[in-house]
């Protein structure tokens, strides 16, 4: 049987896969294996994608556009009616209240990024100004401090580091670095290298680490203060690096800030042994190449932005940037790590990092009589009714909108609240790609071709946006005909026509993604990739050296054409850029061309470093809501049968806590937070500290057969959030456990 190329869609790594199709109509993924020819994953794949057929054949697939009736039930309507009415309703909100009252959420994620690229055309037609995505409940604090300190967030070169640190991250299951388990095992097995894990839990990564700092939940800020303090005391500072980047002058402020802390107090708060913390500081101080990665364990916890700041201090003070085995800024096609914060949200004035409204503010922006409240919403390839904190309030907000339109593959929890539901093709029924291209020095891009034709009466998001733009009056045939003619003459002639006719024309350039989609002559299997042509043209102007090293030379137009042709011919993905370590330093651009150690607002927050809230007698446990486990992912697989293990998602609890409660594995307990209470099965696990409990992510979806597992966000609150960027503290939810 033929092996076809595609990619895994379950985490940001998007490992290349080879699949065999079979079953009814050859529409099933019957065999999967890692694709050795994929430039990044090189044949690697974890256990999760082997059951991806459960995604392709989810239990509540949409098969027709739907319109909600007054009684709350849905009726099927034709695509023509759906597009016309959605365009009319959203245009009416724009014309009456302004486009800024229509809010966009989603746009894809993991391996599904093209919807977001095409949605730009629809958003511009509707004059929409505000948007958000899952990034705004995870990464915006890190992006914001990175942008202010170094001009960008960085990634880390774990392949070549001699000391690797994971902060609130279990890459064994959450990955995020290429071939994660191979790299982790290599660091762990090499006596000359040190793997450090900071995590309250004895995770799978902690199991193979050289140093596991099992601190008390939520005390990461004190640990980082202790480490920075020790580095300063030993003067294990890369002064030459700081001088080179204009940051040495800010060192006294950092010394003063750290001097205000006592090491003993920091250690007491973390519960860590002084000798272990001192050893960690020494290992980092002596590292030839220190690489580190922070993730949701700290980014969804108390002091999240402050922790991101302290983490970045550790990187800069040790000069761990711009050389092999340290941190780098990759060449990117789309800057998904944008940390600039120029605007605020219209109602509550929340800081928008990278233009994203904090997810925890969305309900407040809707549930108000403020004239600039969001009155309509377009949700695409996302499920905020399930994935955002305090699902109860988010659902109330979504239900109160004048118009909610959902574009999705399945009848999600959000789609059930919509006025219109537009059924999309799955990720294997259209060409798709990811913009999480963070590899270094060889960076790759993979346009994976479709494996199947879209299910009848469903459409790829590119086609949905093209039809919406046309219904909104954004395009007519007279605009497109000359481009189509040029396309017949080949890509170079086409690119010249775009340069002459689209870029100077504000009307066409506003909807350029759709113009490309409607006019480039592509085979059906790659058609949705049209928008990438524009991104290649941009990259050709921004990163000519890196692209040239990968063999793409010539004028920007010639480079864009070569990149596009190579992309179409590369079933396993292509290396589009080869970076040099000097490029990464050039990309670190702050407004004054210097690195910054002293951020006044963060230092002010550090000076008062708020302690953790006093333990409430009613809620003696700390719940970590959303742990990544072997068969958990985001919620795109809407079939509980895909999980080989833990289909219901048990609550993990320390053996002594379980004994004190008199419960054993498999028994059902009542789990209560300030927001709600649920019944859940217990899994007694020595990986948990006393007082710390954890629920898996991605469960609690409502299938046609009923709800399976606990939805973590039924238990979380929007008010428990970071003071700077509003990220939620899902990993530190006060909770109570009782025998049911």
Choices 11-19, 286-294, 465-473, 588-596; region in contact with ligand SF4 by CB under 6 A: 11-19
Give the residue with the Cβ less far from ligand SF4, 175 or 393. Answer: 175
Torsion angle in degrees (nearest 10) through CA of 358, 362, 363, 364: 80
Strands 403-408 and 420-423: parallel
Q: Does 52 bind ligand SF4 (CB under 6 A)?
A: no
Distance CA(194)–CA(281), nearest Å, equals 12
- DSSP secondary structure string, 61-82? B--S-EEE-TTS-EEE--HHHH
Choices 3-11, 330-338, 351-359, 465-473; region in contact with ligand SF4 by CB under 6 A: 3-11
To the nearest whole angstrom, how small is the minimum distance from the Cβ of residue 110 to ligand SF4?
Answer: 8
Distance CA(408)–CA(55), nearest Å, equals 13
To the nearest whole angstrom, how small is the minimum distance from the Cβ of residue 297 to ligand SF4?
Answer: 18
To the nearest whole angstrom, how small is the minimum distance from the Cβ of residue 37 to ligand SF4?
Answer: 15
Distance CA(386)–CA(713), nearest Å, equals 7
659 in Cβ contact with 720 (< 8 Å): no
Q: Does 155 bind ligand SF4 (CB under 6 A)?
A: no
Choices 10-18, 84-92, 275-283, 704-712; region in contact with ligand SF4 by CB under 6 A: 10-18
Give the residue with the Cβ less far from ligand SF4, 373 or 449. Answer: 449
218 in Cβ contact with 189 (< 8 Å): no
Give the residue with the Cβ less far from ligand SF4, 178 or 354. Answer: 178
Choices 7-15, 23-31, 268-276, 396-404; region in contact with ligand SF4 by CB under 6 A: 7-15
Give the residue with the Cβ less far from ligand SF4, 152 or 203. Answer: 203
To the nearest whole angstrom, how small is the minimum distance from the Cβ of residue 14 to ligand SF4?
Answer: 5
Q: What is the largest CA-CA distance in the chain?
A: 76
Binding-site size for ligand SF4 (CB under 6 A) equals: 11
Residue 418 has, within 13 A of its CA and on its CB side, a CA count of 29
Burial of 432-470, coded b for 16+ CB within 10 Å and e otherwise, reads bbbbbbbbbbebbbbbbbbbbebbeebbbbbbbbbbbbb
Q: Residue 359 has which token pair?
A: 């997810």
Q: For the chain, how far is it from start to end, CA to CA, in angstroms?
A: 52
Any residues with CB less than 8 A from the CB of 164 and at least 6 apart, and which?
156, 158, 187, 193, 194, 195, 196, 290, 291, 292
To the nearest whole angstrom, how small is the minimum distance from the Cβ of residue 593 to ligand SF4?
Answer: 37
Residue 677 dihedral angles phi and psi, to the nearest 5°: -135, 145
Among 45, 145, 258, 498, binds ligand SF4 (CB under 6 A): 45
466 in Cβ contact with 474 (< 8 Å): no
To the nearest whole angstrom, how small is the minimum distance from the Cβ of residue 584 to ligand SF4?
Answer: 24
To the nearest whole angstrom, how small is the minimum distance from the Cβ of residue 230 to ligand SF4?
Answer: 34
Q: Does 29 bind ligand SF4 (CB under 6 A)?
A: no
To the nearest whole angstrom, how small is the minimum distance from the Cβ of residue 11 to ligand SF4?
Answer: 3
Any residues with CB less than 8 A from the CB of 284 and at least 6 apart, and which?
163, 165, 196, 227, 231, 236, 290, 314, 318
Distance CA(511)–CA(248), nearest Å, equals 46
E strand map for 638-698: 651-653, 668-673, 677-684, 692-696
To the nearest whole angstrom, how small is the minimum distance from the Cβ of residue 16 to ligand SF4?
Answer: 9
Distance CA(675)–CA(711), nearest Å, equals 12
Among 4, 5, 10, 330, binds ligand SF4 (CB under 6 A): 10
Hey, which residues does 695 pair with through a beta bridge?
A: 625
Give the residue with the Cβ less far from ligand SF4, 15 or 678. Answer: 15
Give the residue with the Cβ less far from ligand SF4, 443 or 654. Answer: 443
Choices 41-49, 116-124, 340-348, 532-540; region in contact with ligand SF4 by CB under 6 A: 41-49
Give the residue with the Cβ less far from ligand SF4, 42 or 59. Answer: 42
Distance CA(577)–CA(544), nearest Å, equals 9
To the nearest whole angstrom, how small is the minimum distance from the Cβ of residue 171 to ligand SF4?
Answer: 9
To the nearest whole angstrom, how small is the minimum distance from the Cβ of residue 266 to ligand SF4?
Answer: 35
Q: Does 48 bind ligand SF4 (CB under 6 A)?
A: yes
To the nearest whole angstrom, how small is the minimum distance from the Cβ of residue 185 to ligand SF4?
Answer: 14
Give the residue with the Cβ less far from ligand SF4, 172 or 309. Answer: 172
Q: Residue 211 has which token pair?
A: 């140093």
Among 4, 5, 8, 491, binds ligand SF4 (CB under 6 A): 8
Site residues (CB under 6 A) for ligand SF4, limited to 330-349: none
**Helix 532-542 and helix 512-519, axial crossing angle in degrees, nearest 10:** 120
To the nearest whole angstrom, how small is the minimum distance from the Cβ of residue 19 to ligand SF4?
Answer: 12
To the nearest whole angstrom, how small is the minimum distance from the Cβ of residue 629 to ligand SF4?
Answer: 12
Distance CA(170)–CA(437), nearest Å, equals 20
Q: Does 730 bind ligand SF4 (CB under 6 A)?
A: no
166 in Cβ contact with 188 (< 8 Å): no
Give the residue with the Cβ less far from ligand SF4, 365 or 439. Answer: 439
Give the residue with the Cβ less far from ligand SF4, 45 or 298. Answer: 45
To the nearest whole angstrom, how small is the minimum distance from the Cβ of residue 34 to ligand SF4?
Answer: 7
Choices 21-29, 43-51, 163-171, 610-618; region in contact with ligand SF4 by CB under 6 A: 43-51
Choices 45-53, 161-169, 294-302, 598-606; region in contact with ligand SF4 by CB under 6 A: 45-53
Q: Does 710 bind ligand SF4 (CB under 6 A)?
A: no
Q: Interior CA angle at 698 toward 695 and 700, to 5°? A: 80
Q: Residue 549 has which token pair?
A: 């090293």
Comparing CA positions, the residue from 474, 633, 499, 503 lying closest to residue 558 is 499
To the nearest whole angstrom, how small is the minimum distance from the Cβ of residue 9 to ligand SF4?
Answer: 7
Among 4, 5, 11, 123, binds ligand SF4 (CB under 6 A): 11
Among 39, 49, 151, 726, binds ligand SF4 (CB under 6 A): 49
Distance CA(300)–CA(141), nearest Å, equals 10
Q: Does 284 bind ligand SF4 (CB under 6 A)?
A: no
Here's the x/- map for ligand SF4, 166-205, by CB under 6 A: it reads as ---------x------------------------------
Give the residue with the Cβ less far from ligand SF4, 39 or 734. Answer: 39
Q: Does 15 bind ligand SF4 (CB under 6 A)?
A: yes
To the nearest whole angstrom, how small is the minimum distance from the Cβ of residue 3 to ligand SF4?
Answer: 16
Query: What percent of the residues of the chain are helix, what percent strand, and what percent coil, each to the nearest 5?
Result: 40, 20, 40
Torsion angle in degrees (nearest 10) through CA of 568, 480, 130, 295: 0
Binding positions for ligand SF4, rule: CB under 6 A: 8, 10-11, 13-15, 45-46, 48-49, 175
């Amino acid at each position: 049987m033929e092996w076809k190329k595609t990619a895994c869609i379950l985490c940001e790594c998007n490992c290349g896969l080879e699949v065999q199709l079979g079953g009814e109509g050859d529409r099933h993924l019957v065999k999967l294996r890692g694709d050795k020819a994929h430039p990044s994953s090189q044949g690697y794949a974890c256990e999760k994608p082997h059951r991806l057929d459960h995604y392709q054949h989810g239990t509540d697939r949409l098969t027709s556009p739907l319109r909600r009736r007054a009684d709350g039930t849905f009726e099927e309507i034709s695509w023509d009616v759906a597009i016309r009415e959605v365009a009319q309703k959203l245009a009416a909100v724009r014309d009456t209240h302004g486009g800024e009252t229509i809010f966009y959420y989603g746009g894809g994620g993991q391996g599904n990024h093209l919807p977001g690229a095409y949605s730009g055309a629809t958003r511009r037609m509707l004059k929409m100004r505000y948007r958000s995505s899952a990034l705004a409940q995870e990464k915006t604090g890190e992006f914001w401090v990175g942008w202010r300190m170094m001009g960008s967030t960085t990634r880390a070169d774990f392949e070549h580091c001699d000391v690797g640190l994971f902060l609130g991250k279990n890459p064994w299951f959450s990955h995020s670095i290429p071939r994660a388990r191979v790299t982790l095992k290599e660091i762990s097995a090499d006596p000359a290298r040190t793997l450090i894990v900071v995590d309250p839990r004895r995770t799978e990564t902690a199991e193979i680490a050289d140093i596991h700092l099992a601190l008390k939940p939520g005390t990461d800020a004190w640990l980082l203060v202790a480490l920075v303090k020790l580095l300063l005391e030993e003067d294990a500072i890369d002064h030459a690096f700081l001088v080179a980047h204009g940051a040495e002058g800010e060192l006294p402020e950092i010394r003063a800030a750290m001097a205000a802390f006592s090491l003993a107090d920091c250690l007491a708060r973390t519960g860590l042994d002084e000798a272990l913390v001192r050893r960690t500081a020494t290992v980092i101080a002596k590292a030839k190449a220190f690489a580190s990665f922070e993730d949701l364990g700290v980014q969804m916890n108390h002091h999240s932005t402050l922790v991101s700041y302290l983490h970045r201090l550790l990187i800069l003070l040790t000069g761990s940037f711009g050389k092999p085995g340290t941190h780098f800024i990759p060449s990117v096609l789309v800057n998904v790590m944008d940390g600039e914060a120029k605007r605020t949200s219209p109602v509550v004035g929340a800081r928008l990092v990278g233009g994203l409204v904090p997810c925890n503010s969305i309900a407040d922006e809707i549930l108000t009589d403020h004239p600039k409240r969001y009155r309509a919403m377009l949700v695409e390839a996302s499920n905020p009714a399930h994935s955002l904190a305090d699902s109860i309030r988010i659902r109330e907000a979504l239900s109160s909108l004048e118009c909610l339109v959902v574009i999705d593959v399945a009848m999600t929890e959000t789609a059930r609240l919509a006025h219109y539901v537009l059924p999309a093709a799955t990720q294997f029924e259209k060409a798709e790609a990811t913009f999480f291209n963070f590899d270094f020095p060889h960076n790759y891009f993979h346009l994976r071709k479709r494996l199947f034709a879209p299910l009848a009466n469903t459409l790829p998001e590119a086609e949905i946006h093209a039809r919406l733009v046309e219904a909104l009056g954004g395009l007519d045939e007279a605009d497109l005909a000359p481009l189509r003619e040029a396309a017949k003459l080949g890509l170079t002639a086409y690119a010249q026509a775009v340069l002459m006719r689209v870029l100077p024309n504000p009307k066409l350039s506003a909807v350029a993604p759709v113009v490309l989609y409607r006019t480039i002559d592509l085979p059906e299997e790659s058609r949705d990739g049209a928008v990438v042509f524009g991104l290649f043209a941009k990259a050709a102007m921004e990163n000519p050296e890196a692209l040239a090293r990968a063999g793409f030379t010539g004028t920007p137009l010639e480079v864009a054409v070569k990149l596009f042709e190579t992309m179409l011919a590369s079933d396993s993905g292509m290396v589009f850029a080869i970076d040099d370590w000097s490029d990464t330093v050039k990309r670190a651009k702050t407004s004054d061309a210097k690195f910054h150690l002293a951020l006044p607002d963060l230092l002010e927050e550090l000076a008062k470093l708020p302690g953790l809230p006093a333990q409430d007698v009613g809620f003696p446990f700390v719940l970590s809501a959303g742990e990544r486990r072997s068969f958990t992912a985001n919620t795109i697989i809407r079939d509980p049968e895909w999980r080989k293990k833990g289909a219901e998602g048990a609550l993990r609890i320390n053996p002594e806590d379980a004994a004190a409660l008199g419960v054993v594995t498999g028994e059902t307990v009542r789990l209560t937070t300030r927001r709600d209470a649920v019944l859940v099965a217990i899994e007694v696990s020595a990986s948990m500290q006393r007082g710390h409990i954890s629920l898996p992510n991605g469960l609690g979806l409502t299938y046609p057969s009923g709800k399976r597992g606990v939805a973590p966000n039924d238990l979380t609150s929007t008010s428990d959030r970071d003071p700077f960027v509003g990220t939620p503290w899902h990993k530190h939810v006060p909770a109570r456990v009782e025998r049911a």
